[in-house]
Structure formats: C-alpha cells, structure tokens
C-alpha cells in the first residue's frame, strides 16, 4: 500500500515539475496532497514549522555568504589572472594550456562553491584563448565540463552545506573530507589530457615561446590573490579558528578586497553581486523549505520507514546498495539539479545508510561525486547548459565531449569505495 502511495505521489510530482512549476512549490504541493489524502492531520501548522525550521539554521548561514563570495569573484579579473599565472608553468606538459581549464577550475572551486559559477567563470576567459591558439574544441570543452564539476566537491561546497544540514553531519568535516577526492579527480582529468595529447601530438599547438624560470616566477604573482583567499577561507576552517559560517564571512571580506584592488568593485557590481546571490539563495531556500515540509508529510504517512524496510528486505550487500544508489542519483540528475537531489532523498535514505553501516561523512562525499556526474549528463546537466550558453553548441555534442570525464568520475567512485580513507583520513587527522 505504502509503495503504491509513493508511486502516486512521485508521479504527481514529476507531472508538476514537467509542467514548469517551481521545484520548491511542487514539493510543498505534494506534501499538502499527501497529508490531506492519507493522514488525519491538517497540513497548515506542520508546513509553517517545517519551513521555518529548515531555513532558520545558523549553519545554513554559510550558504548565502559563499554564494555572495562567488558572485563577487565572478565579476573580477580573478580567472584572467589565474590563466596568466598558470600558463608559463604548463608549456612543457603534454596538453599544455588544456591543463589551465582543470587547474583553473580546481583553484576557483576552492573560492566559489558552485559548479556552474566555476564552469562559467573559467570558461569565459579560457575558451576564447584556447580557440585563438588552435587547441581542439572537443578537448577544450570536455576539460571544462569535467573540471567545472569540481565546484561541488572542493570546499567550500554549497551542496556539502546542504547535505550537512540535511544529514546532521559536520560541515567542516565534510569540507576537509572533500579535499583528497577533489585532488584525485583533478589528477585523473589531467592524466587523461596527458594520455590523449601523447596520442594526438599533431593536434596540440606548439608553445608560443619558452618562459625562463624568472619569467615563470613573475607570472606567478597573478596567483597571489586567489591563493591568499583560499588560505584565508580554508585555513581558518582547518586550523579550527573559524566555523564554516565564519569562514564564509572571511571569504566575502576577502573577495571584496580583491575586487576593490582590481578596481572592479563599483556600486553597480556590488549591487549586482548581492542581488545575484540573493536570487540564488531564495531559490535554494524555497527548495529546502519545500523539501522539509515534504519530509514531514512523508513521515506522517510512514513512507520513509516502509521504503527503508523495503530496501533492507532486498538483502543488498553494502557495495550493491551503493551501486543502486549511484545509478538512482545519476538518473535523478537527468531531471533535477544537485541540491534538489540531496534534499529530496536524504531524509528517506539516511535510515537505510545507517542500517547498512555506511559512514554518513563518507556517504556525503560519495553523493557529491555522483551528483557531479549528473552535472554533465543530458538533458538537465547544469554544466552542459553553461557551456551551451557560452558556445552555442548542442547539449548532446558537449555531452559527448564530456563522456571521458564522466567515466573518470565513475572510476573515482570505485576508488572511494575501495579506499574509504581517501575521505575519512584527513578529517580524522585534523579534527579528531
């Protein structure tokens, strides 16, 4: 009976989403229908309490601050400076400037927290430069699509904040746990570029000129602002000086200083960054509120408990359960953005995760990597949308270019399962 109710409510929700209704409102509508149709309790007071509780958490304050920091940096010359600072060091590496996409996205992810912002910011400066120098379009777009997803994994990560709040897991530990997997993925991406470049030497244009060591050091001065900002934000968290929320405030102040020093901080850009962050946070807050109310409604109906019991009755091993969940998340990612996936599923899945003996800290990083994979799968891969807007290419064509990086993410998920210490070792060492 409960599974029939679940199927009915999921079908109604998909119909509402397909009709163009905002995700947050669709979640609230399903919660109201579920409570009216299958419980004796009126939805009004429960809705008010759930929505207020979901959006009044002190921990969640970090989210709008990190969003604002990313919006400020989006309007600076930070990505252009990173390109200038990195290029001389990559002259002798197979693939040369293609690596600037990966390293640039890795660095910007450490001050952005958003996959779309990382992809758009690095893409705006790198794509025209790579095209002008004759680099193959398939590799330029593929590296950008793949490396842009690192904005979700490398701290500070917006989706990690949402998961931490939803699953009651330390956000600071999640941030630290995402560092090594983020480096692993960046390394895998760069390894693929090196292999491809060695196999297609004729398609990589020669270096314009050889920069001597002194010239490289001088060019590296362009990296000072981003390194200082990363050090300020992440260093304050890892050293225990600041919580994630306080570190976000440090990031906002640092990004304002960088924008002012680059003369890109004007009254117009300040208001644009503030309003951009406000609009994005309001969208996320509506989704979080709707999800909290739907979770409450499903609890009254009894769906999470019965669904967890059903999954438990399948007798899946821990490995098979994670495979099934990975496929489930990637399929959801074909229709929903990453934050929606997390807030929609965590309340239902966490009892099963605990029952299977899976560390919720490890599972949070696992979820983020799998959601990263969904960012480059059509039809609703957000990074594909960003690159389509930048280049005018078809989403299917960009998805084809991004396929090797999707497969590399699959291999990273397997590595995380085989070596869970990649996630848990650093938080245990630094935070106990």
pLDDT attached to residue 1 = 59
Instruction: Indicate whether 13 belongs to any domain.
Output: no
pLDDT in tens, 169-181: 888 899 889 889 9
87: its two tokens: 């290029």
43: its two tokens: 């939805």
Please check whether residue 78 is in contact with residue 256, taking contact to mean a CB–CB distance below 8 angstroms: no
pLDDT in tens, 20-32: 787 778 888 888 8
Residues 423, 358: Cα–Cα separation, whole Å: 13
pLDDT attached to residue 230 = 80
Residue 376's H or E segment, with its range, is none
Nearest to 77 by CA among 247, 224, 181: 224
Nearest to 301 by CA among 31, 48, 14: 31
pLDDT in tens, 302-318: 766 666 667 667 777 88
pLDDT in tens, 51-69: 887 777 776 777 788 778 8
Instruction: Indicate whether 6 belongs to any domain.
Output: no
- Reported as a pLDDT band with limits 50, 70 and 90, residue 194 is very high
pLDDT attached to residue 412 = 93
Instruction: Indicate whether 315 belongs to any domain.
Output: yes
Segment 261-290 mean pLDDT: 85
pLDDT attached to residue 404 = 92
pLDDT attached to residue 47 = 85
Instruction: Indicate whether 2 belongs to any domain.
Output: no
pLDDT attached to residue 380 = 59
Please check whether residue 383 is in contact with residue 119, taking contact to mean a CB–CB distance below 8 angstroms: yes
pLDDT attached to residue 311 = 67
pLDDT attached to residue 363 = 94
pLDDT attached to residue 302 = 72
| 212 pLDDT above the threshold of 90 | no
Percentage of the chain lying above the pLDDT 90 cut: 13
pLDDT attached to residue 428 = 86
| 334 pLDDT above the threshold of 70 | no
Place of tokens 């919580």: 243
| 39 pLDDT above the threshold of 90 | no
Decide which of 398 and 395 is more confident.
Answer: 398
Decide which of 343 and 160 is more confident.
Answer: 160
pLDDT in tens, 223-262: 888 888 888 887 887 777 887 788 888 988 998 998 888 8
Segment 322-343 mean pLDDT: 77
pLDDT attached to residue 190 = 92
pLDDT in tens, 278-302: 887 887 788 778 877 877 887 777 7
pLDDT attached to residue 374 = 80
| 18 pLDDT above the threshold of 90 | no
Residues 301, 286: Cα–Cα separation, whole Å: 23
The total of structural domains in the chain comes to 1
One-letter-per-residue 3-state SS of 150-214: HHHHCCCCHHHHHHHHHHCCCHHHHHHHCHHHHHHHHHHHHHHHHHHHHHCHHHCCCCCCCCCHH
Instruction: Indicate whether 20 belongs to any domain.
Output: no
Instruction: Indicate whether 19 belongs to any domain.
Output: no
Residues 332, 353: Cα–Cα separation, whole Å: 18
pLDDT attached to residue 264 = 84
Quote the domain boundaries for residue 413: 27-431
The overall average pLDDT reported for the chain is: 82
Decide which of 358 and 340 is more confident.
Answer: 358
Instruction: Indicate whether 14 belongs to any domain.
Output: no
pLDDT attached to residue 410 = 92
pLDDT attached to residue 377 = 77
Give Cβ neighbours of residue 9 (< 8 Å, ≥ 6 apart): 30, 33, 34, 303
Decide which of 220 and 410 is more confident.
Answer: 410
Place of tokens 């050091």: 217
Q: Which of 117-121, 163-167, 206-210, 260-264 has the lowest mean pLDDT?
A: 206-210
pLDDT attached to residue 408 = 93
Instruction: Indicate whether 275 belongs to any domain.
Output: yes
């Amino acid at each position: 009976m409960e599974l029939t109710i679940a199927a009915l409510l999921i079908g109604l929700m998909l119909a509402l989403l397909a009709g163009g209704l905002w995700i947050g409102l669709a979640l609230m509508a399903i919660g109201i229908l579920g409570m009216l149709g299958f419980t004796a309790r009126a939805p009004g007071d429960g809705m008010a309490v759930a929505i207020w509780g979901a959006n009044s958490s002190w921990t969640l304050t970090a989210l709008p601050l990190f969003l604002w920091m990313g919006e400020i940096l989006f309007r600076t010359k930070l990505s252009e400076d990173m390109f200038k600072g990195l290029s001389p060091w990559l002259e002798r590496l197979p693939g040369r400037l293609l690596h600037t996409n990966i390293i640039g996205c890795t660095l910007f992810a450490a001050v952005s927290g958003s996959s779309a912002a990382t992809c758009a910011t690095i893409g705006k400066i790198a794509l025209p430069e790579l095209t002008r120098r004759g680099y193959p379009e398939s590799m330029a777009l593929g590296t950008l699509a793949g490396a842009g997803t690192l904005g979700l994994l490398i701290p500070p990560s917006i989706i990690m904040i949402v998961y931490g709040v939803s699953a009651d897991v330390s956000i600071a530990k999640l941030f630290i746990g995402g560092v090594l997997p983020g480096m692993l993925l960046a390394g895998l991406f760069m390894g693929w570029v090196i292999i491809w470049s060695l196999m297609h030497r004729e398609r990589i244009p020669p270096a314009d000129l050889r920069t001597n060591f002194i010239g490289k050091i001088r060019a590296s001065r362009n990296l000072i602002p981003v390194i200082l900002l990363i050090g300020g934000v992440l260093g304050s968290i890892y050293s225990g000086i600041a919580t994630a929320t306080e570190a976000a405030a440090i990031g906002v102040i640092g990004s304002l200083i960088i924008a002012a020093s680059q003369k890109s901080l004007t009254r117009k850009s300040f208001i644009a960054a503030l309003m951009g962050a406000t609009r994005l946070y309001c969208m996320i807050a509506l989704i979080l509120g709707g999800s909290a109310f739907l979770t409450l409604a499903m609890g009254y109906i009894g769906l999470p408990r019965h669904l967890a019991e059903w999954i438990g009755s399948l007798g899946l091993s821990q490995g098979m359960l994670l495979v099934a969940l990975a496929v489930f998340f990637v399929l959801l990612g074909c229709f929903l953005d990453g934050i929606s996936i997390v807030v929609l599923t965590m309340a239902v899945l966490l009892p099963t995760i605990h029952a299977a003996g899976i560390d919720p800290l490890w599972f949070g990083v696992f979820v983020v990597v799998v959601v990263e994979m969904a960012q480059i799968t059509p039809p609703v891969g957000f990074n594909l949308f960003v690159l389509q807007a930048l280049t005018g290419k078809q989403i299917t064509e960009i998805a084809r270019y991004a396929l090797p990086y999707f497969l590399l993410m699959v291999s990273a998920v397997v590595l995380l399962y085989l070596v869970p210490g990649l996630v848990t070792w650093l938080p245990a060492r630094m935070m106990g």
